[in-house]
Amino acid sequence: MIESINSLEIQELAFAYPDGNQALFGVNLTVKRGERVALLGPNGAGKTTLILHLNGILSSGHGKVFVAGKLVDNTDKAALKQIRSKVGIVFQDPDDQLFMPTVGQDVAFGPYNMGLRDAELAKVVDDSLALVGMLDYKDRPPHHLSFGQRRRVAVATVLAMKPEILVLDEPSSNLDPASRRELAQILRSLDITMIMVTHDLPYANELCERSLILSGGVIAADGATTDLLKDTALLNKHRLEMPVGFSL
* pTM of this prediction exceeds 0.85: yes
Between CA 19 and CA 156 the distance in angstroms is 36
The CATH number assigned to the domain holding 170 equals 3.40.50.300
pLDDT digits (tens, 9 = 90+) for 164-216: 999 999 999 999 999 999 999 999 999 999 999 999 999 999 999 999 999 99
Determine, yes or no, domain membership for 153. yes
DSSP 137: G
**How open is the CA angle 205-206-208, to the nearest 5 degrees?**
65
pLDDT band at residue 67, thresholds of 50, 70 and 90?
very high
Does 12 score more than 70 pLDDT? yes
Tell me which residue range forms the domain holding 226: 6-237
- Beta-strand relationship, 210-215 and 218-224: antiparallel
Among residues 156, 152, 162, 169, which one has the least CA distance to residue 52?
169
**What is the predicted pLDDT for the residue at 3?**
60
Determine, yes or no, domain membership for 248. no
Q: Which residues lie closer than 8 Å to 185 by C-beta, 6 or more apart?
A: none
Q: How far is CA 23 from CA 71, 208, 216, in A?
A: 21, 25, 7
Count of structural domains within the chain: 1
pLDDT digits (tens, 9 = 90+) for 132-165: 999 999 999 999 999 999 999 999 999 999 999 9
Q: Which residues lie closer than 8 Å to 113 by C-beta, 6 or more apart?
A: none
Determine, yes or no, domain membership for 21. yes
**Beta-bridge mates of residue 22:** 16
Residues 210, 35 contacting (CB under 8 angstroms): yes
Cα maximum dimension of the chain: 56
Does 24 score more than 60 pLDDT? yes
pLDDT band at residue 43, thresholds of 50, 70 and 90?
confident
**What is the predicted pLDDT for the residue at 1?**
43
pLDDT digits (tens, 9 = 90+) for 69-119: 999 988 888 888 888 889 999 999 999 999 999 999 999 999 999 899 999
pLDDT digits (tens, 9 = 90+) for 44-58: 899 999 999 998 889
Determine, yes or no, domain membership for 166. yes
Between CA 54 and CA 59 the distance in angstroms is 9
Between CA 52 and CA 23 the distance in angstroms is 12
pLDDT band at residue 59, thresholds of 50, 70 and 90?
confident
